[in-house]
Amino acid sequence: MSTTLITGGTVVTASGTQDADVLVEGEKIAMVLARRPGVEVTMAADRIIDATGKYVLPGGIDVHTHMEMPFGGTFSVDTFETGTRAAAWGGTTTIVDFAVQAKGTSLLATLDKWHAKADGNCAIDYGFHMIVSDVNDTTLKEMEACVSAGVNSFKMFMAYPGVFYATDGEILLAMQQAARLGATICMHAENGIAIDQLVAQALAAGRTDPVYHGLTRPPELEGEATSRAITLAAVAACPLYIVHLSASQALAAVAQARDTGQNVFAETCPQYLYLSLDDLARPDFEGAKFVASPPLRPREHQDSLWRGLRTNDLSVVSTDHCPFCFKDGKELGRGDFSKIPNGMPGVEHRMDLLHQGVVAGQLSLPRWVEVASTTPARMFGLYPRKGVIAAGSDADIVIYDPQATQTLSAATHHMNVDYSAYEGMQITGRVVTTLSRGSVVIDDGEYLGRAGHGTFLARGLNQYLL
Ligand SMILES: [Zn+2]
């Protein structure tokens, strides 16, 4: 079995920092050995990585990505191969992507289809959530088989009528079934019925620019849907995870539910922490680059999201990575913002962007690791295999240089998309080395991984439930 010794670094986990060396044997972490002044311990290894002055982190876990997701006859432009490679460049070693049930199809056939897309193509490990868009007796029955197959989180939509939208009654049925199975319902919480009316009114009035994507999806309608989802989950006694929370109204609803002890959790995404409605309003259709749902919010929401991350009312930061090129993709919506493909690239930059929160004093170092790796692992049944630097865990390890600087740009990123949402942004900190199950995938500006190294992760249940 080949061994790797990572020496001289500062191991950062959700529980704190420690000057320690990490011994990797094969695919697993064999030992974490604290360094003490005056005590010299020598360990032999096939390969030594000098991490002096660097952080040694558990690999990032991005629980919300959409690789090659079908959308209006086309697909999001990162494949499982290009998307997982880009993730590794940014220090993410696990993704949980969404299999998408089309109306009239079965969950199990959908799962097979997604396995076929990902199998043999991923640079890092991956799991799946299941998007439920057709609630019927077969679907409800198949949810149990999905859980047995390691897919125990089901995403539903209160938005997108006619596509993914589920009625409150359908949501309740799926929640009751999830509750029986111990599974978690993930919710896109926006009131799509009301939003569709606002969109129609805007278009009728000739308001077609990208900024109206934001203005026709007001934060109040995210707050309302979030509250409604929480109420339905309470009635069904079902664990609920609000995806891509963007608005302070929604955060208030989540905080209130958590204060009463309900099993309600939420994630936000870097775009809601760093970008705003002002970006959607950029002139000459550039705003289309920032069209995603929920939309970017007025700047004042950002402070409450950072606060929510500190208080744990927001437990996770994922990316909702769903890239469409500007040329021939976003441009489909020139003259009608409602036709702009919804989604933004981001899988590569989550760890770096959150590190800016550490640099700016908005997050502690352990909290950075917690929201980006440890909590996602616990929330979606991957811990302690993933999400921690400890003996017995997978050797998914990132060596991070907190002093290095970089400039984000489409010219240098590795995502398969022709623009960066953060073009020109200066970042302090950078990934030096990424290991996935003991194999070096990224090292000092070089990709050393391979498609097919990444394996499917059958996940357990949410570990925050009693
Ligand atoms: Zn999404």
- What's the 379 CA to ligand 1 centre distance in angstroms? 17
- What's the 35 CA to ligand 1 centre distance in angstroms? 42
- What's the 16 CA to ligand 1 centre distance in angstroms? 31
pLDDT for 446 beyond 90: yes
| C-alpha–C-alpha distance, residues 322 and 320, integer Å | 6
pLDDT for 387 beyond 80: yes
pLDDT tens-digit series, residues 307-320 = 999 999 999 999 99
pLDDT tens-digit series, residues 173-195 = 999 999 999 999 999 999 999 99
Element housing 220 (H / E): helix 219-236
- What's the 344 CA to ligand 1 centre distance in angstroms? 10
Sort 53 into a burial class: Cβ within 10 Å, 0-12 / 13-18 / 19+.
exposed
Question: Considering Cα of 33, then 35, then 36, then 41, what sign does the dihedral take?
Answer: positive
- What's the 133 CA to ligand 1 centre distance in angstroms? 14
Closest of 267, 307, 271 to residue 187, by C-alpha = 267
DSSP states of 228-281: HHHHHHHHHT--EEE-S---HHHHHHHHHHHHTT--EEEEE-HHHHH--HHHHT
| C-alpha–C-alpha distance, residues 312 and 136, integer Å | 35
pLDDT tens-digit series, residues 243-290 = 999 999 999 999 999 999 999 999 999 999 999 999 999 999 999 999
pLDDT tens-digit series, residues 89-124 = 999 999 999 999 999 999 999 999 999 999 999 999
- What's the 131 CA to ligand 1 centre distance in angstroms? 10
- What's the 65 CA to ligand 1 centre distance in angstroms? 6
- What's the 421 CA to ligand 1 centre distance in angstroms? 16
Average pLDDT, stretch 426-442?
A: 98
- What's the 357 CA to ligand 1 centre distance in angstroms? 23
Phi, psi of 210 (to 5 degrees): -55, -35
Give the residue with greater pLDDT, 172 vs 71.
172
Q: Which residues pair with 69 in a beta bridge?
A: none
CA 139 to chain centre: 25
- What's the 293 CA to ligand 1 centre distance in angstroms? 8
Tokens of 120: 């043999």
Sort 356 into a burial class: Cβ within 10 Å, 0-12 / 13-18 / 19+.
buried
pLDDT for 74 beyond 90: no
- What's the 318 CA to ligand 1 centre distance in angstroms? 10
Instruction: Name the residue type at position 304.
Output: S
Q: What is the CA radius of gyration of the chain?
A: 21
